[in-house]
Every structure is written in structure tokens, then in C-alpha cells.
Amino acid sequence: MSWNRIRLGDIAIFRNGINFGKESYGKGVSLIGVSDFKNRFYPDYETLDEVKESVVGVNDYLDYGDIVFVRSNGNKELVGRCMLIKTTKSKITYSGFCIRTRIKNKTEHDSIFWTYHFKNISFRKSMSGNAVGTNIQNLSQGMLSNYEAEVPDYNTQLRIASILSTYDNLIENNQKQIKLLEEVVHRLYKEWFIDLRFPGYENVEIIDGVPEGWYINRADHYFKITIGKTPSRAEKQWFTDSREGTPWISISDMGESGAFAFYSKEGLTADAIIRHNMKVVPKGTILVSFKLTVGRVAITSIDMCTNEAIAHFYIDNDLDRAYTYCYLKNFEYDSLGNTSSISKAINSKIIKSMPFIMPAGDILGQFSMIVQPILDQIELKQKIIFRLTEARDRLLPKLMSGEIEV
């Protein structure tokens, strides 16, 4: 097996994405933006926004095998993330905060292999210019073009890509199954609690928009609601790896967690929990973000802490959990107003006093009997994805360095 030093600019060409205004959104061309990256290998094509075809130049479309990077974002953890385009079924473009990398000769260099190479921590360290951290401030065409790395011959690239793709194909399959299960839950919730076509609805009178026997009150009338906090960032001794301490969830973590939260990028030490009187919320608590990104909702899968932008809805009755999760997931948070002049936010008082509709007990029980087993399946599949991701990420640097020969 031979490895050669390659300058990326010698084997690939680069192009920044399109810039456009709000008026350009509309049916026509699927658009990959920064929010679509998360921690994916391929885009979720069904959830992409669209822009009008008139704003997309002939050279701005993505082709099979293109690799798209985040080049700039306020969240530096996102800069440098990449995804591989593996379809040509529809017209796809990408936003101005992204860069396209296109391999010139795909019979000499494999796009799947290079996508994995770019996901390796050594690439992020090289781009960050910081041997300690891996956050990239900004990514430019020049930085990508001048990047050099030792890579194997084409056939070895294919073998490495095949091994790692086995994991990502399983991950993608589980993601698709989760999406289908979530759609089942959403449709049932909408039918029963938005369209009010719940079992026996024909015999129930609607009074002021609420079925008889149902109640509406402040959220904190039904639930204990607390708010997380952040220890002083200047005192680094309070923070640790989430596997060593108590997981400490941020809004960013919630954005990538799915329906269940059981992993965080950072953890808190036992001393931090005591010193700062941190609230450790138990498994089964429902989390709701209410600052910056309002309305992210997740169920805790283990005991954990959160930062001050996240509220905790404690669930005493297991029958209430499925409905409460769906209610908070579907709630129109814009109706609560905005308490910040510089960003989207509501305060903890508003969260605690938000209106909450509590259905009759028999309806809650029937809904829980149907939906809770589906949520259990989603939780299991999320954990499978997490384990597959960990296994892939342990293998990735060993394959990319040649430590493991294939």
C-alpha cells in the first residue's frame, strides 16, 4: 500500500455558495444551508429549503460526489463540517456560508474517502492552526487549496471508504426509521389534539375551544419547572468531558440530540454541582430551550444538568410524558412574544406561565399507550446511532493514518 503527499488544490476545485435575500425563497432549487449540517454525512434532502431557480447560476448547482463545507458561522463548532452529495435526482445548490469542493478526477480520488478524511480530527486541527483546539474560525478556498495530506492509492481509498460507509449506511437507515416514527407520532397528535378527532369526540361538547372535561392553566400549575445555569467560564475546573462528569446540555446539544437527550459535549464535575448548586434533572424530564433558539424540546434519557437557556419540565406521571412532549414540541412559541431586543428569547417567568391544555385522563392514557412505545423505539434507535458513531469515530483516525492496513 503506497501513500503519497497530496495538495488538495491539485486534485480539486472550489466555489463559494450563492448569496440571496429572503425574497428569493420559493419553489425551484433545493438549498443546503449551515443549519442542515448538524453531524450528518449526507444531507437530509427532504428537509432542505428551496430558492427560486432565477437566483442560481449555471455553475452553482451541486453534482454527485461534491463535498460541501461550512465556511463561516457564529458557532465555530460548525465551521469546517462537511457533507457529501450522493444524488442527482433534483436540483441542489448551497448558501454563501458554504464552500463546494469538487474532485477533478474521480477515477484517481474517491469523494467518499475524502469526506471521511475531512471529518478526521487531524484535518480540523490543521485548519484551525491550533494544536490544542479544533474549532476553525473561518474556512476559505485558499486554506482548502493549500491543504496537504498523506493519502493512499485509489484502491485503498475505496476499501477505507467501504469500511467506514458500513457504519454511516446503518446510521442513515436508523435516522430514516426515526423520522418515520416521529411522523406517526406527529400525525396522531395532530388528529387528536389539534383537529380534536380523539376517540369519542362525537359525544364531547367543545366549550371555548376546549373539549368538556379538559382543562387549561399555567404550565407551572401542572409541572414543577426549573431553569439550568452555567458555572463561571473563567474557572475551567468546573468543566470536564461529559463521560467523566455529569452531562451538561446546551442548546447546541439539543439541536443535535433528537427527541432524547443523553449526550453533551461538556460535563460538570461533582464539585461544580455542589459549589454552584446545579440542578441535576432526572431521566424522563422534558427540556425546552427558551433563549436564542426558542422551542427545542427533548426528553432526558439520563440524569443531567443544563445551561440557563433551558427549562426543565418534571413529569410525575408517566402517562403525561408522551402528551407533554408532543404539546411542547408543537406549541407556537411566537405567541409568547419576545423579551430581548437583540435576539429571540423569552424569560423563565413566561415559560412557567405559558398556557397548557391538559386533556381528560382517559384520553391521556389512550394516547400514552399508543405513543410511548413509539418513543421507546426512537430512544433505542438514537442510542444505536450514538454507538455506531462512536465506533466509526474510533476507527476513522486509525484508517486515515495507516495504523490499520486494509
Stretches where the chain sits below pLDDT 50 are: 130-132
Res 88: pLDDT: 67
Alpha helices in 223-290 (DSSP H): 251-257, 270-275
Res 339: pLDDT: 67
Q: What is the Cα–Cα distance from 346 to 291, expressed in whole angstroms?
A: 6
What domains appear along the chain, each with residue ranges and CATH number?
A: 3-151 (3.90.220.20), 153-194+360-406 (1.10.287.1120), 215-358 (3.90.220.20)
Q: What is the Cα–Cα distance from 322 to 181, expressed in whole angstroms?
A: 13
Res 130: pLDDT: 47
Q: What is the Cα–Cα distance from 306 to 320, expressed in whole angstroms?
A: 22
Q: What is the Cα–Cα distance from 37 to 85, expressed in whole angstroms?
A: 12
Res 136: pLDDT: 66
85 within 8 A of 65, measured Cβ to Cβ: yes
> In this structure, what are the phi and psi dihedrals at residue 206, rounded to the nearest 5 degrees?
-95, 120
